[in-house]
Amino acid sequence: MTLAELRLHLAPLIADAAIFDGWSEEALAMAADQAGVDRDVARLAFKGKSGLSQMAMIEAWIATIDREMAERMTPEKLGAMKVRERIRSLVQFRLDAVRGQEEALRRATAIMAMPQNAAASLKTGWSSADLMWRLAGDTATDWNHYTKRTILAGIYGATLAVFVSDESEDKQETRAFLDRRIDGVMKFEKAKAQYLGRERESFSMMRFLGRLRYPVR
């Protein structure tokens, strides 16, 4: 395997070990032993600028979830659903994928929240949100492309925060939280579309030029 392939191969095993040992050298060693991989090679796969990179391990774990989601949540499976249900199903798939690994997720979230990891965390969150929207069939290329992904990343992050502490049966509190957040976004999108539609229908060149000259304060 290439180092990139090795990272994806080891990441789920590291996540399992991280429940007890955190995203650490010990977790990596346990995963390497379990996979029959030389420990030094495993360290090389996750080497950062100043030694073992926790973010590299976490990013690889998230990448494996992204990959599995893309493989399992096919257009055929999602096609008959409304957009709201597609997004809900995609987020729920990701939550189900980490059931039993809540402590690893909690520790990963803390690491991702560190200032030095902010840029990498934002990039990772955006990438997962982008993938979910693309799997849901979104083809927007205008500013909606960015707002949709920003909002979904926020919903997903907030839902994860509820998920890691949810001790209700079958994570019902998390499911209800996710449903409320998606309902709120869909109502906002509907209202926005209606407003923009009225703006387009009642467009006035004189009013537009007037706003340029006398901006609304």
d(CA 3, CA 97): 24
d(CA 139, CA 133): 8
Return the CATH fold of 53-213: Tetracycline Repressor; domain 2 (1.10.357)
Strands (E), the chain: 47-48, 51-52
- CB-count exposure of residue 29 (10 Å: 0-12, 13-18, 19+): middle
Render each residue's pLDDT in the chain as its tens digit; 217 residues. Answer: 899 999 999 999 999 999 999 999 999 999 999 999 999 999 999 999 888 999 999 999 999 999 999 999 999 999 999 999 999 999 999 999 999 999 999 999 999 999 999 999 999 999 999 999 999 999 888 888 898 899 999 999 999 999 999 999 999 999 999 999 998 777 766 666 666 655 544 445 445 444 444 444 4
pLDDT at 76: 92
Q: Is the dihedral of CA 32, 34, 37, 39 positive or negative?
A: positive
Torsion of CA 60, 26, 35, 132, to 10 degrees: -20
Record the tokens describing residue 44, joined without a space. Answer: 């090389």
pLDDT at 102: 97
pLDDT at 173: 97
pLDDT at 212: 47
pLDDT at 73: 97
The whole-model pTM stands at 0.85
Contact 59, 127 (CB under 8 A): no
